Amino acid sequence: MSAPLPITFLSDYGHDDEFVGVCHGVIQRVLPGAVVIDVAHGLPRGEVRQAAFVMRNSLAYMPPGVHLAVVDPGVGGGRRPVALRSGDGRLFVGPDNGLLRPAAERSGGVQTAVDLSESPYRLEPVSATFHGRDVFAPVAARLAHGTAVEDVGEPFPASDLVDLAVSGAIVGDHGVEAHVLHVDRFGNVQLNADRGQIAALGLRSGDPVELETDRGRWQASYGRTFSDVPERGMLVYEDSSEVIAVAVNQGNAARTLGLGANARIRLAPRR
């Protein structure tokens, strides 16, 4: 018998209620002493795309193991509960709504997919509204214990998995047209743009950048870290997830710019 695998757990359950704690309880009942890493539970409610982005970006920092994720606005409806094994051997458990796939693609692609609807390891009766507790947590614990993915559900073709296409930013004549993927606690705004697109504008570290949103225009600098701009100054930078982001030094860029998830923003070199 090999050692149990660690479990990582990401959700939009929040910290006010017992949802996260109940899933932990279920895991410890199946696998006493399980190591569970809470990746994040305060993600915006039901925002599958944002959660998929966070999950994909954090995966490289997690030990290989079972990656449980539940952002599941369609719970109890038609969406499929699934477990996946990726090319590099990581295991993923959650709803088939696009949440798991970007992370699995980044770790070698989906090699095996199983449907958990009739899993022998689900808790009966399965409630209509809390599959984290009744399906995903107990299956994750079984996988961590060493049960093969083929034994926790019914195999189906990986090509049937839901795919949430994330559109990239577009480089045009008037700069980079981007969208907001995620706003963090500090008000830093992550965009669907990458370093190559900024380079295509001819921007170098220290250069001025003009930002345009539906609310107006702002002057920023392209730099490396917060202290590269004065206090309250606005910074465009590659963040620790290697995506282009906007921040205000000692301030809140999302509030300053009036931006939330999915909002559009244009970046251009200042003339």
Residues that bind a second copy (CB under 8 A): 3, 6, 8, 10, 13-22, 24-26, 28-29, 32-33, 35, 37-43, 45-46, 54, 57-58, 61-63, 73-78, 127-130, 133-134, 184-186, 224-227, 237, 239-240, 250
CA 27 to chain centre: 22
Residues 6+ apart with CB under 8 A from 41: 9, 10, 11, 12, 13, 14, 15, 20
CB of 8 to a second copy, least distance (A): 7
CA separation for the pair 230, 234 (Å, rounded):
8
Structure tokens at 271: 């003339």
Q: Pick between residue 73 and residue 155 the one whose CB is nearest to a second copy.
A: 73
For the CB of residue 227, give the shortest distance to a second copy in the complex, in Å: 4
- The number of helices, as runs of H, and strands, as runs of E, in the chain is 7, 15
Smallest separation, CB 245 to a second copy (Å): 9
Of residues 74 and 168, the one with the C-beta less far from a second copy: 74
Is the dihedral angle over the CA atoms 180, 184, 103, 91 positive or is it negative?
negative
Tokens of 5: 């695998």
Q: Which is nearer to a second copy, 85 or 182 (CB)?
A: 182
| Residue 39 vs 268, nearer CB to a second copy | 39
Q: At closest approach, how far in Å is the CB of 35 from a second copy?
A: 6
